[in-house]
Structure 1
Amino acid sequence: METISVEEVAPHVTVLTLNRPDRLNAITLKMYDEIEDAVAALSQDVSTRVLVITGAGRGFCSGQDLRDLGADPSASELGRIQFGMAWQSRASHLIRAIHELPQAVIAAVNGPASGAGLSLALAADIRVAARSARFNVAFVRIGLSGADMGTSYLLPRIVGPTAAAEMMLTGRLIDAQEAHDNGLVLRIVDDGKVVDEALSIASAIVANSPFGVRMTKQVLWNNIDAPSLAAAMELENRTQILASLTEDCREAEAAFLGKRAPVFGNK
């Protein structure tokens, strides 16, 4: 792959690194291709339990590379509107695919995360930030709507509607401390340590049962939109009974009683 790297760095933990450091990892159409392929493969990979996404160099992702987008020959072949709609749909689909991965996803934000880069971070389940991290909704600063690539859905659910509205309407850059204060990131670490922090969280996740983790993620995000507490509890109840009948659960109980670390399969 030319624009990303994908590496299993620990048992059951994979790191996907955006690799265009000279452009602060701005996304090209080629990068979309490669991330899509990697995410599709990971969605079927039962051995990977946690995915960490980060950027090479001093940036996480500075957003869409507009020079690359404008140079695509299909823009003139399809027509401006048709090309724009096709690209928009594809970009949005990628964010959804990352968000809906069965694995836990951690964004290790090592620098600027703007526009599409912010959307990539929002697609993760957990975000940790380096002190140099910066975040903004860049779309509104270039004459477009601030509601793009899932931002209008994910951001208010993460930081609340008031903070989301201010970010989306102004396009203002916020630093790592403000991102932490409003709940956008879990914690801040020194520059150069953010992937290590993400891997520490990944290790704690991997210590739990594969089925339990996958069901937790699925129920968590489904119940954010639950119509009532009763509906949320019904989904929880069914999931708990399913989990209680797995080999994972029996192994976890045996390990607890035997005062040892559990050894889970990949199911």
Structure 2
Amino acid sequence: MSQPVTDDADALRGLDFRHLRLVRSGVRLDVQLNRPDAANSLNDRLIMELGRLFSALYWRHDIRLVTLSAAGKHFCAGLDMKERKGRADPTVNGALVAQRRISEIVIAMRRCPQPIIARLNGAASGGGFAIALAADIRIATPDLRMNAAFVKIGLSGCDIGVSYFLPRIAGAGVASEFLLTGRFMDAERALRAGLVSAVAPDDELDVIMEGFVEDMLATSPLGLRLTKEALNIAIDAAGLEQVVAMEDRNQILCTYEPDFEQALEAFRNRSEQRARS
């Protein structure tokens, strides 16, 4: 049964969420940005909540998978410019601390062991673009519009990890085009560039989302967790030998889990059934 996650619930005890809606369904956690009247823009409270959530998930091996979506017409329009009218703090040190609170969100997203499936709609701009890119898999509605809005307001186009994620996902050419100009990328272009895995209307996208969830939860808990970890390391590894060493370690670890024997036996049974048919 799905149940809302509150501050006294099992999933994330002691954390008080006002702008995030969390629903726990067994080993799955559905997270929804919930400031629809402000296009889910990032005010100080939402920034704090996102940082605390994904940092807490690092220790929650009982939660195996996270879906991330948004209430209303937009995924996230970036920083709440009504709340943040200029510098975050009059001092360099204070401003850097405020900046780091935002950037730590995407670091925590990559560090947490759960795969994150992001369901994108409407605007995913600035910080919303960064959060979308930090997910493991992205799917989108046809009205998706993403951009690195930072360069449009007198800042560098490289912010909150986008200059790390975008070239690694879509290549240096695509990254240069969109980070240097701040242009919007629509859903069709995002699909061609490999930034999203599927584009479909709302009802169809729900089915696609559930397909990803089912496939991931059909794997062993340790295997799924180590796959995300190894992919993160492989992207930045110095070479093939470092990647193979990590893969070797992970495979051996997985063989000592009970899930391995069960999965192997299930595979053998399916193979025998196909051979007889």
What is the TM-score of this pair, normalised by structure 2? 0.87
Structure 2 unaligned residues grouped into runs of 5+: 1-16, 272-277
Q: Secondary structure at the match of 1:107?
A: strand
1:61 aligns with one of 76, 80, 83 = 76
Residue in structure 2 matched with residue 108 of structure 1 by the alignment: 119
1:124 aligns with one of 135, 140, 163 = 135
Point out which structure has higher relative CO (alpha carbons under 8 A, 6+ apart): 1
Q: Secondary structure at the match of 1:224?
A: helix
Match status 1:33 vs 2:48: yes
| CA drift at 1:80 | 4.0
Residue in structure 2 matched with residue 23 of structure 1 by the alignment: 38
* C-alpha contact 1:54 1:195 (8 A) present in aligned 2: no
Q: Secondary structure at the match of 2:202?
A: coil
| CA drift at 1:45 | 1.8
Deviation string 1:34-57 (CA, Å, 9 cap, x unpaired) is: 222222332222221110111101
CA distance in 2, matches of 1:123, 1:196: 22
Residue in structure 1 matched with residue 23 of structure 2 by the alignment: 7
| CA drift at 1:220 | 1.0
Match status 1:223 vs 2:234: yes
Structure 2: which amino acid aligns with 1:120?
A: I
Structure 2: which amino acid aligns with 1:53?
A: L
* C-alpha contact 1:110 1:192 (8 A) present in aligned 2: no
- C-alpha change, 1:243 and 1:124, in structure 2 (3 Å) is same
CA distance in 2, matches of 1:11, 1:204: 15
Match status 1:199 vs 2:210: yes
CA distance in 1, matches of 2:41, 2:204: 22
- C-alpha change, 1:206 and 1:108, in structure 2 (3 Å) is same
| CA drift at 1:193 | 4.2
Give RMSD over aligned pairs.
Answer: 1.9
Match status 1:155 vs 2:166: yes
CA distance in 1, matches of 2:251, 2:193: 32
Match status 1:42 vs 2:60: no
| CA drift at 1:192 | 4.8
CA distance in 2, matches of 1:115, 1:143: 13
| CA drift at 1:259 | 4.8
Structure 1: which amino acid aligns with 2:196?
A: V
* C-alpha contact 2:144 2:187 (8 A) present in aligned 1: yes
- C-alpha change, 1:79 and 1:135, in structure 2 (3 Å) is same
Deviation string 1:2-48 (CA, Å, 9 cap, x unpaired) is: 2111112x432211100111111001100112222222332222221
CA distance in 1, matches of 2:176, 2:99: 22
Structure 1 unaligned residues grouped into runs of 5+: 261-267
CA distance in 2, matches of 1:208, 1:217: 13
Deviates more, 1:241-250 or 1:38-47: 38-47
Match status 1:83 vs 2:98: no
Aligned residues with identical type, % of pairs: 36
Structure 2: which amino acid aligns with 1:3?
A: H
Residue in structure 1 matched with residue 275 of structure 2 by the alignment: none
CA distance in 1, matches of 2:86, 2:207: 37
* C-alpha contact 1:140 1:170 (8 A) present in aligned 2: yes
Question: For this pair of structures, how many residues does the alignment match?
Answer: 255
What is the TM-score of this pair, normalised by structure 1? 0.90
Match status 1:235 vs 2:246: yes
* C-alpha contact 2:42 2:79 (8 A) present in aligned 1: yes
| CA drift at 1:90 | 1.1
Q: Secondary structure at the match of 2:117?
A: strand
Q: Secondary structure at the match of 1:127?
A: strand
